[in-house]
Structure 1
């Protein structure tokens, strides 16, 4: 079902502990797991028809009116559950995440009804109905665990609600030996809990590996900054507002690699990345293009503000010596070129090209901060 792809908990939901996956998973994955807890119409109808059959059969065999009441409650519950499914589908079609609370609460109510029905059947002493009820409830255990594997606590609760009342009823049916069924319940519940926790651990490992691969696909492994992957698309998404693009690379970086080794060069790159993130702020996109080349996309800056930011970046990089593991401290310089949208470019492609041109002009001039239009006035500018 499409609506089961993703879901969320309602605001201030009391079900958070119950539906927790009990293991560490990426936050972006939780809506997927919650979506699996939403009811499916086919499953709901099959379960309801089975429950109605058991209740009606018990009413016909025993003549007890309570089983007709149970059948009527079953009908009400199935209508409410189908209504909840339609509501979730409407949310999905509208592009919003459905809440899982109503579906979970109705599922809990349905499982409790099966347990109460089983309890009442056990007290009748009707052997045929006891066999039917026992087979029905035992047949629910595997589907409940399978459908609610993403929430082990919920799955155990649902199994308990179905199974435990039946066995309590059997214990009170007049055969003392059947009291042994009650302590035997707890190894069953414990084994289900352990099994589902193991499933959750495997699932979490899979989700975490996928999240790690997704992160590495779009980020530089050394510095944690964004990389070239999808860069133009990300810049284009930011360019719906005024946007400043700053390109920079490091001066004297090669000499540090040659003198201290590539480990020292890596330490310098990590230190520069940290300083770039700090100066640029949370709203900026900071990218390592490769080697000692970096790019910053910062929204809502005019050229004067971008010039000031470029000078702040240059000061943060050049004014502080960077410590190395060897105990030495090294100084690094930087050249920065920038262009602003829409002042200096009419497209993302030209914006990147113009920022690059300004960077090369700054390097030819011996460093510093250059804007594209200022660079274009130089005789040797591109």
Structure 2
């Protein structure tokens, strides 16, 4: 009996020792196939704050640690030991790809069955990356033909938002994946940078706040995703900080700009007061959280950023639908962009909670989707600017057109004078005779119809010689540019003839007592516009008194 109990105890001890030194399921590598062992119960949680500098320390730490169900949502350091066998008949290189873009540092060692222990190239944002792979980490593993051994691996980060499932990728296939992932990310962030700069230049040109908000919205997304992908690490190299965390810290500021952009795009201050208060409050909240987040643990900031995203996406989509239902066609681009944005963030968050297994590629697709979103946002700004330009042109034309007759007013006249510069010109000051009698006899409606008819006739008979302006009441101005000195000799008689033709048209239309008194002056016989107008006005009154001839002083 004692012998049996002794054997049972020795068996239990052996099982306990085996459990303490359990190794992950063996991984078999081939020349052309990616091998991805299951992540469940693969990793071991290493002591917080442990300092590991060599293989013996890493081995001891992993052997003494307990397994965890998953690294999803985990914090700190994790380690694993995995038996790996190459079935290749020739020496080959595989890349171990880890979907962990926030990784601070990583260490790996290869312990071959032939007795050699080799430190593998380092990886992580703070320890330097031997392989440049955005959104993920990777390091090479070179094995001899048929070699078998154990891979010892340690990773450390403030947050693991996705399960860290290792992928052993053959060298040729890895380079294809690396090119596609890096190209998609750099293309997407490059598009966002470019669109942000376009919006910023538009702000410098137009001084409209909506373009500045758009520049912040688009540009901060580009900078944030460039940082979150790990690309800043390529520039800064090794350091005490992890630039991949910056993307999460910039996100609240991007949404603050997005809130202001939405408020300004749809003119909420004048048309939608409740939305105006909501978006203004949301932008202030996001700005405050963004300023606070650098002082909080990264895990808290990570959760705050995802909470903001969960609030913003449905808000933006509902706003776009509501504005489109109100026939605000700027919303068609805004809604399209935010639908893309919503789908992208949904895929991103599902990946982070382990419900979508795309092995890190979802983040590259998110960046492309966000680039398309930013393009749509810029289109909505272009639509807004187009509408503003149309409104400006309409207001501009209205301010320079006489509302009754449709011809130019005094503002248009002065603009035309400014455009002429030093070019000589002639002015004909015209006053309508008999207009008061028409108003008194037939009423103001009939008087207005006569003024419209008079303006049409003067414009018709003046033709290409110049332009007719109504300066007030029954007073008009004819402005005639003088292109060459010889034109001046016959100009007074020519203009007088055309005025007589206009008067004749009045009489044929039944306005028998209507006429035109006029006086002409040129810039060549005066020192300023006001002097030229005074001279023409004086001659008009002389003509009204005499009604037989027009006085024009020849320049000396």
Q: Which runs of 5+ in 2 are unaligned?
A: 1-99, 104-134, 137-156, 166-176, 229-299, 321-327, 357-379
Q: Please tell me whether residue 330 in structure 1 is matched to residue 507 in structure 2.
A: no
Q: Which runs of 5+ in 1 are unaligned?
A: 1-53, 118-127, 175-195, 324-328, 377-382
Q: Please tell me whether residue 307 in structure 1 is matched to residue 481 in structure 2.
A: no
Alignment check: 8 A CA contact 2:401 2:409 kept: yes
Alignment check: 8 A CA contact 1:307 1:371 kept: no
Partner of 2:471: 289
- Secondary structure of the 1:330 match is coil
Note the aligned Cα RMSD (angstroms).
Answer: 5.3
Q: How do 1:105-124 and structure 2 match up within 5 A?
A: none
In 2, Cα distance between the equivalents of 1:283 and 1:153? 48
Structure 1 residue 360: Cα displacement: 1.9
Structure 1 residue 173: Cα displacement: 3.9
Q: Please tell me whether residue 270 in structure 1 is matched to residue 452 in structure 2.
A: yes
When residues 83 and 363 of structure 1 are mapped into structure 2, their CA distance, relative to the original with a 3 A threshold, is: closer
Q: Please tell me whether residue 317 in structure 1 is matched to residue 503 in structure 2.
A: yes
When residues 225 and 135 of structure 1 are mapped into structure 2, their CA distance, relative to the original with a 3 A threshold, is: same
Alignment check: 8 A CA contact 1:280 1:298 kept: no
Partner of 1:240: 422
**Matched residues, number:** 267
In 1, Cα distance between the equivalents of 2:405 and 2:190? 58
Structure 1 residue 213: Cα displacement: 6.6
* Residue of structure 2 aligned with 1:158, choices 320, 337, 343: 337
Structure 1 residue 84: Cα displacement: 4.5
Q: How do 1:328-367 and structure 2 match up within 5 A?
A: 329-331=510-512, 332-342=514-524, 344-367=525-548
In 1, Cα distance between the equivalents of 2:544 and 2:186? 82
- Secondary structure of the 1:373 match is coil
- Which of structures 1 and 2 has the larger relative contact order (alpha carbons within 8 angstroms, sep 6+)? 1
TM-score by length of 1: 0.51
Partner of 1:225: 407
* Residue of structure 1 aligned with 2:552, choices 372, 377, 381: 372
Give deviations 1:278-303, integer Å, cap 9, x for gaps. Answer: 33347844322333221121223532
Q: How do 1:31-50 and structure 2 match up within 5 A?
A: none
Give deviations 1:298-321, integer Å, cap 9, x for gaps. Answer: 223532235313421330232344
Partner of 1:47: none
Give deviations 1:55-90, integer Å, cap 9, x for gaps. Answer: 64774634479898476566645654565467668x
TM-score by length of 2: 0.37
Give deviations 1:323-353, integer Å, cap 9, x for gaps. Answer: 5xxxxx32322122111222x2232122112
Q: How do 1:74-153 and structure 2 match up within 5 A?
A: 76-77=190-191, 79-81=193-195, 84=198, 92=205, 135=307, 137-138=309-310, 141=313, 151-153=330-332
More strand by share: 2
In 1, Cα distance between the equivalents of 2:200 and 2:401? 40
Alignment check: 8 A CA contact 1:56 1:71 kept: no
Q: How do 1:175-214 and structure 2 match up within 5 A?
A: none
Partner of 1:185: none
Structure 1 residue 211: Cα displacement: 7.1
Alignment check: 8 A CA contact 1:236 1:348 kept: no
Alignment check: 8 A CA contact 2:401 2:407 kept: yes
When residues 292 and 251 of structure 1 are mapped into structure 2, their CA distance, relative to the original with a 3 A threshold, is: same
- Secondary structure of the 1:244 match is strand
In 1, Cα distance between the equivalents of 2:442 and 2:436? 10
More helix by share: 1
When residues 266 and 221 of structure 1 are mapped into structure 2, their CA distance, relative to the original with a 3 A threshold, is: same
In 1, Cα distance between the equivalents of 2:497 and 2:387? 45
In 2, Cα distance between the equivalents of 1:252 and 1:373? 28
In 1, Cα distance between the equivalents of 2:494 and 2:311? 70
When residues 76 and 363 of structure 1 are mapped into structure 2, their CA distance, relative to the original with a 3 A threshold, is: closer
In 2, Cα distance between the equivalents of 1:345 and 1:239? 15
Alignment check: 8 A CA contact 2:401 2:412 kept: no
Between 65-74 and 216-225, the greater mean CA deviation after superposition: 65-74
Alignment check: 8 A CA contact 1:269 1:292 kept: yes
Larger radius of gyration: 2
Structure 1 residue 238: Cα displacement: 2.9
In 2, Cα distance between the equivalents of 1:139 and 1:283? 65
In 2, Cα distance between the equivalents of 1:230 and 1:138? 54
When residues 292 and 74 of structure 1 are mapped into structure 2, their CA distance, relative to the original with a 3 A threshold, is: closer
When residues 164 and 320 of structure 1 are mapped into structure 2, their CA distance, relative to the original with a 3 A threshold, is: same
In 2, Cα distance between the equivalents of 1:330 and 1:78? 67
